[in-house]
């Protein structure tokens, strides 16, 4: 829409009930409500959207990234009404939208493809048979889908059956089409895609690659352009094949050809996305093109302005997808909530944030949990990465759990920095799941020192009662404190000396100097720790010394007590938390799809107990021990919140 405003085009936004105050609605010149929250009744409701088009007299439709952007029916109906679809022609969507068909076309166009079964799989048993023919591991995915939805990897027959069931359900609920296909799963691959741009006159360009290997559950998390892995020869080969494919389907508009690249730089065609991708801004950064503008031009029938030789690689761009999800649970389970505070790091240079939300927005269970795309740009990769670190540290999100801890760990991980990545990066680097930043001696000291200094700042402020003559004029302001700071790993004795705004903190045999502006109301704490600039965030602070500090992306629970309080605290009894092994709680908010047990049933360890759907993803919850079901507290169709009791075991 920013591009449209720039080009002098008036805009109309469509929205559902719950999104009526969303950013896109506010930015648009006009807005039309197309139905209630569930996507099938609003953003996927073609009748309502066609009505909206007629009412507003719109001449063209930009379908965005998801929903109807690759729906051939929709494109057809638009064509019938004489409304331009800002995207490729119907036949191209049709050809590429179906993964089975697209593979055949790609093969015909001499594009490298992955071995697999070129047909629709009808039953779970058939799926097992095909999987055995191709050889495990195999990937089961929705024929109509994209974006990782309805996609499962299976390593054996049992997983194939389970995967078949989930994928077909997810495919049905997300795309209204439960056809599945199976192909060979390439182990240790990289996901690299080529951006193409074609006009209606048979011209097509490749706009370099995007490295999208960092994924979780087949959804991209961190992307960059260019890739550290490609040499100019491979890049050219991939680009040319992508253009061949585009030309083969008489493609017009912007599109993306996805490839899997193995360690020997062999690449296989994966699929073609006939829409603008979420990660398009990084391509814009390094090429200097506005893709939305180009799409509108192409839709209008103009010829491309550029030639292949005009497409540069200028600098390096990195995109982090900031999600409302808990990274500590399988690298990200959806979380919901209200953004009580939201502040984008736009004060930093060369940072771009594309988001559809704002302070006060509700992250509901109905849509994708994406908060924003955070893009940083630099002349070199190191510069772009350093900016990304800074941007993540300065990004204020309160009210929902978000994945910034994970993002920050990824971009600072030695393997990522060296470019040694694959789509298995996350499970390889964190085999036991993501646990947040691991402190070393130095960073632990910094954290403890910052917490101690913040605590003292708050304590001193409590004594600043204005205009009250009855406050004791204590002879000298205290400037030395002995504290005890507790972290998860135990207690640390800390000595703090203050002079001006500078705290000198002695901790664990080391000295740390912390200084800053110490604004207790600001969510950001820009500090200078031992001469290095670091932005911490104070997430919460309470009267009993508990401070939740976001440091290096991860939030740490710290408790600061005076020496005396710490000594007394040792007398306080530990309160025993409830035994959770016999209680199954919902790990996230969502809808109960199925309950597989009833009271009295015996369950084995790992047996599925129920299935929760959230953000269009189905999650199977299993028993953590062998037991008998005591009681069931949920039923299919029910909406549950995070932490709600679902099933009790004996």
Partner 1 sequence: GKPDPSRSRPSNLVRVPSLLLAVRAHPHLLLAHISVFHFLAHCHPRTRKAMMAALSVARSSCRLINGLRTSFRSLGQVKHGAVAVAVPPTNLQRDCRWYSVSHLSVKERIDRKRTAALVGGGQKRIDAQHKKGKLTARERVELLLDPESFVESDMFVEHRCSDFGMEQDGNKFPGDSVVTGRGRINGRLVYVFSQDFTVFGGSLSGAHAQKICKIMDQAMTVGAPVIGLNDSGGARIQEGVESLAGYADIFLRNVMASGVVPQISLIMGPCAGGAVYSPALTDFTFMVKDTSYLFITGPDVVKSVTNEDVTQEELGGAKTHTTVSGVAHHAFENDVEALLNMREFFNFLPLSNQDPAPMRECHDCSDRLVHSLDTIVPFETTKAYDMLDIIQTIVDESDFFEIMPSYAKNIVVGFARMNGRTVGIVGNQPKVASGCLDINSSVKGARFVRFCDAFNIPIITFVDVPGFLPGTAQEYGGIIRHGAKLLYAFAEATVPKITIITRKAYGGAYDVMSSKHLRGDVNYAWPTAEVAVMGAKGAVQIIFRGKESQAEAEAEYVEKFANPFPAAVRGFVDDIIEPSTTRKRICRDLEVLASKKQINPWKKHANIPL
Which alpha helices (DSSP H) does 176-290 contain, by range?
232-248, 280-287
Binding mask of the shown chain, residues 331 to 360, with x at each position contacting partner 1 by CB under 8 A:
-------xxxxx---------------xxx
Minimal distance, residue 356 CB to partner 1, in Å: 14
Minimal distance, residue 338 CB to partner 1, in Å: 7
Our measurement of the distance from residue 101's CA atom to the centroid of its chain's CA atoms, rounded to an integer in Å, reads 29
Question: Given the complex with partner 1, which of 167 and 457 has the nearer CB atom?
Answer: 457
> What is 328-392 written as a DSSP string?
TTTT-EE--EE-SEEE--TTSTTEEEEES--TT-EE-TTS--EEEEEEEEESSHHHHHHHHHHHH
Question: Given the complex with partner 1, which of 246 and 452 has the nearer CB atom?
Answer: 452
Minimal distance, residue 571 CB to partner 1, in Å: 5
Question: Given the complex with partner 1, which of 307 and 464 has the nearer CB atom?
Answer: 464
- If you ran DSSP here, which 8-state letter would residue 308 be given? G
Under rule CB under 8 A, residue 578 binds partner 1: no
Minimal distance, residue 562 CB to partner 1, in Å: 8
Which of the ranges 16-24, 106-114, 319-327, 378-386 carries the binding residues for partner 1, by CB under 8 A?
16-24
Under rule CB under 8 A, residue 474 binds partner 1: yes
Question: Given the complex with partner 1, which of 206 and 481 has the nearer CB atom?
Answer: 481
Say which residues have a Cβ less than 8 Å from residue 272's Cβ, sequence separation at least 6: 96, 102, 106, 245, 246, 255, 256, 257, 258
Under rule CB under 8 A, residue 564 binds partner 1: yes
Under rule CB under 8 A, residue 571 binds partner 1: yes
Under rule CB under 8 A, residue 499 binds partner 1: no
Minimal distance, residue 550 CB to partner 1, in Å: 16
Our measurement of the distance from residue 440's CA atom to the centroid of its chain's CA atoms, rounded to an integer in Å, reads 27
Under rule CB under 8 A, residue 502 binds partner 1: no
CA gap 645, 222 in Å, rounded: 34
CA gap 342, 347 in Å, rounded: 14
Minimal distance, residue 391 CB to partner 1, in Å: 21
Please give the residues from 52 up to 111 whose contact with partner 1 meets the rule CB under 8 A: none
Q: Are 378 and 316 in contact (CB under 8 A)?
A: yes
CA gap 628, 631 in Å, rounded: 9
Question: Given the complex with partner 1, which of 184 and 541 has the nearer CB atom?
Answer: 541
Among 303, 347, 522, 631, binds partner 1 (CB under 8 A): 522
Question: Given the complex with partner 1, which of 441 and 471 has the nearer CB atom?
Answer: 471
Among 9, 153, 565, 594, binds partner 1 (CB under 8 A): 565
Minimal distance, residue 450 CB to partner 1, in Å: 17
Among 432, 476, 575, 637, binds partner 1 (CB under 8 A): 575
Q: Which residues pair with 629 in a beta bridge?
A: 649
Tell me whether residue 179 is one of the annotated catalytic residues: no
Q: Are 49 and 33 in contact (CB under 8 A)?
A: no
Tell me how crowded residue 579 is: count the other CB atoms within 10 A of its CB: 7
Active-site residue, from 77, 152, 235, 275? 275
Cis? peptide before 471, omega within 30° of 0? no
Which of the ranges 78-86, 92-100, 456-464, 588-596 carries the binding residues for partner 1, by CB under 8 A?
456-464
Question: Given the complex with partner 1, which of 80 and 543 has the nearer CB atom?
Answer: 543
Report the b/e string of 586-600 with b at 16+ CB within 10 A. bbbbbbbbbbbbeee
Among 465, 475, 488, 579, binds partner 1 (CB under 8 A): 465
Question: Given the complex with partner 1, which of 266 and 519 has the nearer CB atom?
Answer: 519
Under rule CB under 8 A, residue 462 binds partner 1: yes
Q: Are 89 and 49 in contact (CB under 8 A)?
A: no
Question: Given the complex with partner 1, which of 296 and 484 has the nearer CB atom?
Answer: 484
CA gap 525, 452 in Å, rounded: 13
Q: What number of chain residues touch partner 1 (CB under 8 A)?
A: 40
Please give the residues from 19 up to 38 whose contact with partner 1 meets the rule CB under 8 A: 20-21
CA gap 634, 627 in Å, rounded: 18
Q: Are 265 and 105 in contact (CB under 8 A)?
A: no
Crossing angle of the two packed helices 46-56 and 72-81, in degrees rounded to 10: 30
Q: Tell me phi and psi for residue 151, to 5 degrees.
A: -120, 130
Per CB under 8 A, residues contacting partner 1 are 17, 20-21, 338-342, 358-361, 461-468, 470-472, 474, 519-522, 543-545, 561, 564-565, 568-569, 571-573, 575
Q: Which residues are catalytic?
A: 275
């Amino acid at each position: 829409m920013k591009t449209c405003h720039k080009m002098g085009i008036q805009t109309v936004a469509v929205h559902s009930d719950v999104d009526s105050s969303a950013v896109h609605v506010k930015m648009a010149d006009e807005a039309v409500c197309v139905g209630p929250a569930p996507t099938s009744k609003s953003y996927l409701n073609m009748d309502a959207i066609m009505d909206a088009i007629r009412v507003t007299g719109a001449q063209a439709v930009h379908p965005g990234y998801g929903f109807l952007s690759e729906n051939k029916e929709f494109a057809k109906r638009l064509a019938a009404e004489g409304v331009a679809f800002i995207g490729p022609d119907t036949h191209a969507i049709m050809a590429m939208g179906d993964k089975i068909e697209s593979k055949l076309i790609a093969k015909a166009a001499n594009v490298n493809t992955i071995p697999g079964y070129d047909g629709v799989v009808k039953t779970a048993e058939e799926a097992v048979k095909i999987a055995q023919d191709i050889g495990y591991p195999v990937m089961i995915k929705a024929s109509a889908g994209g974006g990782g939805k309805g996609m499962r990897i299976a390593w054996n027959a049992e997983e194939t059956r389970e995967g078949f069931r989930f994928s077909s359900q997810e495919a049905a609920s997300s795309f209204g089409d439960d056809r599945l296909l199976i192909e060979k799963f390439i182990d240790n691959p990289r996901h690299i895609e080529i951006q193409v741009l074609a006009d209606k006159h048979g011209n097509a360009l490749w706009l370099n690659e995007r490295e999208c290997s960092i994924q979780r559950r087949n959804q991209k998390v961190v992307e960059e352009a260019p890739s550290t892995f490609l040499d100019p020869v491979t890049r050219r080969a991939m680009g040319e094949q992508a253009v061949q494919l585009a030309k083969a389907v008489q493609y017009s508009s912007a599109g993306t050809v996805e490839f899997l690249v193995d360690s020997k730089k062999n690449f296989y065609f994966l699929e073609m996305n006939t829409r603008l991708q979420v990660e398009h801004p990084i391509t814009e950064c390094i090429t200097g093109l506005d893709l939305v503008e180009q799409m509108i031009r192409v839709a209008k029938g103009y010829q491309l302005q550029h030639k292949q030789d005009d497409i540069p690689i200028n600098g390096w761009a990195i995109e982090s997808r900031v999600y409302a999800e808990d990274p500590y649970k399988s690298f990200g389970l959806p979380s919901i909530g209200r953004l009580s505070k939201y502040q984008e790091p736009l004060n930093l240079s060369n940072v771009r944030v594309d988001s559809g939300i704002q302070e006060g927005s509700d992250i509901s269970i109905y849509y994708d949990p994406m908060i924003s795309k955070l893009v940083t740009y630099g002349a070199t990769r190191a510069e772009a990465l350093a900016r990304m670190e800074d941007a993540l540290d300065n990004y204020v999100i309160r009210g929902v759990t978000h994945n910034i801890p994970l993002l920050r760990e990824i971009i600072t991980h030695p393997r990522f920095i060296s470019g040694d990545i694959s789509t298995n990066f996350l499970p390889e680097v964190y085999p036991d799941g993501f646990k947040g930043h691991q402190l070393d001696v130095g960073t632990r000291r910094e954290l403890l020192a910052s917490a101690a200094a913040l605590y003292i700042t708050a304590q001193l402020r409590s004594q600043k009662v204005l205009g009250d003559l009855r406050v004791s004029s204590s002879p000298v302001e205290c400037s030395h404190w002995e504290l005890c700071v507790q972290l998860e790993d135990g207690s640390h004795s800390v000595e703090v000396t203050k002079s001006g705004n500078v705290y000198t903190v002695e901790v664990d045999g080391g000295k740390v100097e912390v200084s800053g502006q110490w604004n207790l109301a600001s969510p950001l704490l820009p500090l200078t720790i031992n001469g290095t600039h670091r932005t911490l965030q104070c997430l919460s602070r309470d009267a009993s010394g508990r401070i939740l500090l976001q440091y290096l992306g991860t939030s740490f629970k710290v408790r600061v007590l005076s020496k005396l309080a710490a000594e007394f605290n040792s007398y306080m009894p530990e309160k025993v938390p409830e035994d959770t092994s016999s209680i199954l709680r919902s790990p996230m908010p969502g809808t109960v799809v199925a309950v597989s047990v009833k009271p009295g049933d015996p369950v084995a360890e790992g047996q599925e107990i129920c299935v929760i759907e959230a953000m269009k993803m189905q999650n199977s919850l299993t028993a953590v021990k062998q037991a008998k079901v005591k009681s069931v507290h949920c039923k299919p169709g029910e909406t549950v919140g995070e932490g709600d009791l679902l099933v009790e075991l004996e």
